[in-house]
Structure 1
Amino acid sequence: MIADYLEEVLNDAGYEVCGIAPDVETAITMGRACQPDLGIIDLRLPDGRLGTEVAAALCPGTRFGALYSTGNPDHPMLRDAMGVACLAKPYTPDVLVAALHLVWARMMGEAAPSTLPNGLRLLH
């Protein structure tokens, strides 16, 4: 239900959503088929696996900006994770859209602004 709502928020903000994946394998398959520029990846997935597996499969050799969404932004797996940023839950739709804009800007080589959206942390 939350993913469906976020899809609506992103569509309203002008993003094209290629789909919602319930697990690592589906996310990787969908990512390889759609070749998205950006992805919002939950750190902990329902099957107990981590979204870092998705970014590790999709980031190398592509221009894919991974934004992790998590209730634990200090999770040790994020220290070396492929991706651009991590957004702490809970967040508002406006903060999510601002975070995606920033992830895109970083993918384009722009410097990070001096002030980040609330709950956003850049990786690496």
Structure 2
Amino acid sequence: MSATIFDKIIAKEIPADIVYEDELSLAFKDINPQAPFHVLIIPKRRIATINDIQEEDREVVGHLYVVAARLAQQFGFASDGYRVVMNCNQDGGQTVYHLHLHMLAGVTMGWPPFANHQPKSAG
């Protein structure tokens, strides 16, 4: 597989506004934020999609959520709330095929998240 933009960010080949890093993960500000606070939390070892998660990936995938909770505390969003979402494949909105958790905060979010979505036609 060729390197994704996230692989290049992990390798420090291209710049990113990194807000957190440890041995398993990296979190950085989204370049096209959809909320006042929008970071991507990624594993340093590439897993392409949710469909590619294996039993041995449990620790790293769970760790992404631990990082989200830490960032919520650090940036002051834990009490008010925030959203985390992971997209899978084209119809799920995934554009970079390296697993990533979107963390969005700083605004009251509604449900459902996409009021104007259109169902796929059958046939």
TM-score range, shorter-chain basis? 0.3 to 0.5
Bigger relative contact order, structure 1 or 2, given CA contacts below 8 A and separation 6+? 2
Q: Normalized per residue, which structure has more helix?
A: 1
The two structures have a TM-score, normalised by structure 2, of 0.36
